[in-house]
Structures are given as C-alpha cells and as structure tokens.
Amino acid sequence: MTAEVQTVETGRDLRLFRDLPGAVTGGDPSFIPMLRAAFGAIFDHKRNPFWRRARSREWLALRDGRAVGRIGACADPELHASANGTGAVGFFDCIDDATLAAELFDRAQEWLRSEGCTRARGPLNYTIHDTAGLLVEGHDTPPTVDTTWNPSYYGRLWETGGWDGAQDMIASCGPISRARVDRMDRVADLARKRGVVVRPLRWNDFAAEIERLRTIYNAAWADNWGHVPISAEDWAYKAKDMKAVADPDLLRIAEVRGEPVGFYLGLPDLNVEIRKCNGRLFPFGWWGLLRARHRVKRMRLVALGVVPQRRIRGIETLLLSDSYRTAGWRYTWAEASWVLADNTAMINGLMKFELTPYKRWRLYERAL
C-alpha cells in the first residue's frame, strides 16, 4: 500500500514529525527518544539564531492515517560555503520500505536543488554541531546522551537510495579505574613540566568563558573533515542547554601562561533518565533529570581539543587526568564519542586508557 508524503505545515504536523521515531522504532529496547525540549529548541524559529540564516523543509509519510516516515532538508549558507554547495538532509526515520525511503530522499533532494545546492550530506540534524551520523555498528546498546541510534536496516535504505559513505565516526568505551588515572598522570606530567595548567570553568563568568571555549573549538577542529565554524550566537544558544545538565567537574580548560589553549567537556549520561520520562520533562521530568545528574554512574566524553600551535605532548591527557581526579570516582564507565575514523592517533590514544571502539556512525553524501 502506498504512502502519502506531505509537507509539515501545522503544529500538529510538527508534533507527528517529532514523535515519529518512537512509532517506527520505539519497540526496540535500545531506542531512547529525543527530549521534547531539545527538539523544540532546534525548531524554535524565534529564539534559535540558526534560523536567521538557514531555511529548512520537513516531510511526513502517512499510510492509512499513521505516520510511517519522515525527513528534513536544510539549506545553511555556512555549510554551503564550506562544503562546495552542500545542503543537509536529516531527521530521517522510516519503516523498512526502500520505495518509501527513496521517495522521502527524492523530496529532500529536489528541495535542496531548488535552494541552489549541488550536493547533499546526511544525516545531519541539521548541523555537524548537533546530532549527526547514521549508526552502522553497535545497534545492540542504547545511545549515550546526544548521540543517535537507529535500526540496522537504515544503512541499507540510505545505500540503496543512492548515498555513498563519506566519513565514519567512532565511539570508544570502557570502565574508569584508579589504575587508568595513575597511568594518565605519568603522561600528563610531560605537559605539566612545560607549564600547562588546567583549571575549572569560571561559572560566574559564564558568557566570557563560553566564548573562550568557542575560540578554541573553532581552531582545534578547523582541519577536521566536515567542520563548519560555529558562530558566537549559535554556540551561546547551545551552551544554555548544556549548562542546565552539566557536571562542573567534567569541564576543564588548559592554559599556557594564562592563555586558554584547550578544553575537555564531558556530560553525565542522562539517557537512562530520559528513557524513564519518555522524552517528556513535564510535569516531573526536569526534577528526575536533575536528580539523576548527581547519581548517574556513566559519562560521555563529548569534546577534547587543543589549538594547533599549542599541541604539547601530554596536554590532552592532562585535561582528562584532572577531570577524572576530581569527578572520576563518581563515574564507573565512560564513552568517548565521536572521533573521526581517520583520526587514528586519538583512537589509539584512547585505547591506551582502555577505551575500546564499540560503535560506528556514518555520514553519507551524494550529488544532486
């Protein structure tokens, strides 16, 4: 039976679009819904500064009145400029139906062409700084906070739909142990001897500190595949959500003679609590989420970077070691994600500290 693909136009359509992953894949024990508040923050065209420059269109596929697929396309001038006319395709979810998936892809690609794009990249929801990538290995474990999960058949839908793999990203995981931290300290001493100092974020100077992190981030990740510099407005908007759930002990800044040169950001893995509240924060979801921050035993290493001109041996390890010394005893397990698959130095470095690759995501591209 054929499905009707329609443009998302109304608030009801957008709610169906938001909730569709649960309808399609929610029966899998590894599925965890996206927080409704997080979805709302992305699509808040009044407050999210991203929409001052970018445009998007979203579609729903309905069969007998039931939503069975969705997709979105986004024309972002910054991605377009940095990646030779590329537009983003994201928020893809679909039943296991290659014909329906192809129709969804066609709608997104046709719209991107009308916006002047010559290539498409996805899944991006809708930037590389948001959730990105299609899970192609590791479907048997739930996602950590702010990472994606999808059924294994999605890869087949993308590849039979004419998409080519462009870049893989790796997650590594392992237990946190005192022996590991002691081993880190021996490497970290190399950086200490060269004058590197690690300090916590100054939360009473949050706006200025966040801007320092953005400067480091854009410089440290500048040569990474797919990186698009993030604006001060976009960064500050995302930082507000991070501040609400952050563990202050999992954010560290490295300095050389008072100059910020690197940072480490980890987050408590709140996805267990998000699953309990089924993505809803009201009426009591916020309370449970904030309480969980203090008792959760899993963490995700989100970002670890140093500006190119200050990549002193041991500095990344010093950042990790300092954070683990302060907060590590509250956590028993860590995931580092994601790391580009071609960044073998980082992947091998994580393995030295018993963080072993266990998941893989893939970003796809195609000509339009």
pTM confidence score = 0.93
Q: What is the pLDDT of residues 29-52, one digit of tens each?
A: 999 988 888 899 999 999 999 999
| Between 241 and 54, the higher pLDDT residue | 54
The pLDDT of residue 283 is 47
Sort 288 into a burial class: Cβ within 10 Å, 0-12 / 13-18 / 19+: middle
Which residue, among 12, 22, 17, 24, has the nearest Cα to 279 in the 3D structure? 22
**Does residue 270 carry a pLDDT above 90?**
no
| Between 191 and 68, the higher pLDDT residue | 68
Q: How far apart are CA 361 and CA 307, in angstroms?
A: 26
**Does residue 197 carry a pLDDT above 60?**
yes
Q: What is the pLDDT of residues 273-313, one digit of tens each?
A: 776 655 555 544 555 566 666 778 899 999 999 999 887 77
**Does residue 187 carry a pLDDT above 80?**
no
> Rg of the Cα trace of the chain?
21
Q: Rounded mean pLDDT of the chain? A: 90
Angle subtended at Cα 297 by Cα 294 and Cα 302, rounded to the nearest 5 degrees: 90
The pLDDT of residue 326 is 73
Which residue, among 47, 67, 43, has the nearest Cα to 57 in the 3D structure? 43
Q: Identify the structural domains of the chain with CATH numbers, from first to last.
A: 4-169 (3.40.630.30), 177-331 (3.40.630.30)
Percent of the chain exceeding pLDDT 70 equals: 93
Instruction: State the pLDDT confidence band at 16, using cuts at 50, 70 and 90.
Output: very high
| Between 320 and 149, the higher pLDDT residue | 149
Q: What is the pLDDT of residues 112-143, one digit of tens each?
A: 999 999 999 999 999 999 999 999 999 999 99
Ranges of H-type helices in the chain: 11-25, 36-42, 77-82, 98-114, 153-160, 178-192, 206-220, 232-245, 271-276, 285-295, 315-327, 344-352
